[in-house]
Structure 1
Amino acid sequence: MSQQQHVEIADMQAFQEVREKLFTLNRTLNTIRQKIQITDKDRQRCAITLRELESIPESTKTYKSIGKMFLVSPMKPLKQELKKQMEKDEDDVKGLMNQGKFVDNQIADTEKALKELIIKK
């Protein structure tokens, strides 16, 4: 086997590896974006519920959903739980956004490496 063929095989393998890495990173980024959407919807749902609870009297019976059943729950602890869930969701979104930025940077670096391989060829 000549040296040129050996170099072409090595270049092709490097190209395949970079392409696979780029595919994996894009899939990871899409997963992160989906998680952000789900978490943000949960936060919005909690905010709407909390806003509705604020508009009704404290003496009103409230129910908390647990799986398929509902339990009577005092309004004050229910409101506190919703506020904690909203804070947790906000923190989760911030963390996921940071992960997304990191993966975005990795994608940019990988695309740059892929372009260099193509130009080298």
Structure 2
Amino acid sequence: MSISNEALQKVLQEIGQKKVFAEQQLSIVKQQQAVKNRETRMLQLTSSEVESLPKETKVYEGVGKMFICTPIPDVQKRLATESDAVKAELANLKKKEDYLEKTYENSKASLEQVLGRAGA
């Protein structure tokens, strides 16, 4: 079964576009993961600093352009909630990364297969 040059070119173009799109999205996801990893680290550092404070220490949180005195347990609760949210986002980004890597590899394999057939 032979494929016409026009059809072959169209198939190659479509597969190439999928491959490039997956590659671009993969780099975006990796950048997003780096940002979330930094957020996780900042939350961990802040949490450890707050835990090391004496219980009677006044802690202030920034809200807009002002600071509000907040009890330490409330700050710790907020930090834990934010940390859980970031972990969930990281898990979703990991799933997206896996999907995009598979798409990229499949596109790459399809291109090699089509080119192999065309050369044969």
The answer to whether TM tops 0.5 is yes
Q: Name the aligned partner's letter for residue 83 of structure 1.
A: A
Partner SS state of residue 108, structure 2: helix
Extract unaligned runs of 5+ from structure 1: none
Deviations 1:44-94 (A, max 9, x none): 101000000111111111111234432221111011100111111112111
Structure 2 residue aligned with 1:71: 68
Superposition deviation, residue 106 in structure 1: 1.1
The equivalent residue for 1:88 is 85
Structure 1 position 108 matched with structure 2 position 105: yes
Aligned partner of 2:92: which letter?
G
In the other structure, the counterpart of 1:44 is 41
Percent of pairs with identical residues: 19
Residue 30 of structure 1 aligns with which residue? 27
Q: For residues 88 and 96 of structure 1, what CA distance do their matches in structure 2 show?
A: 12
Match of 1:9 in 2: 6
SS in 1 for 2:92: helix
Q: 2: distance between equivalents of 1:105 and 1:17?
A: 17
CA RMSD of aligned residues (A): 1.6
Counterpart of 1:98 in structure 2 is 95
- The corresponding residue for 2:52 is 55
Where structure 2 has 5 or more consecutive residues not aligned to the other structure, the ranges are: none
Change (3 A) 1:20 1:68: farther
User: TM-score scaled by structure 2?
Assistant: 0.89
Could you say which structure has the greater relative contact order, defined with CA pairs below 8 angstroms and 6 or more residues apart?
2
Give the drift of 1:35: 1.1
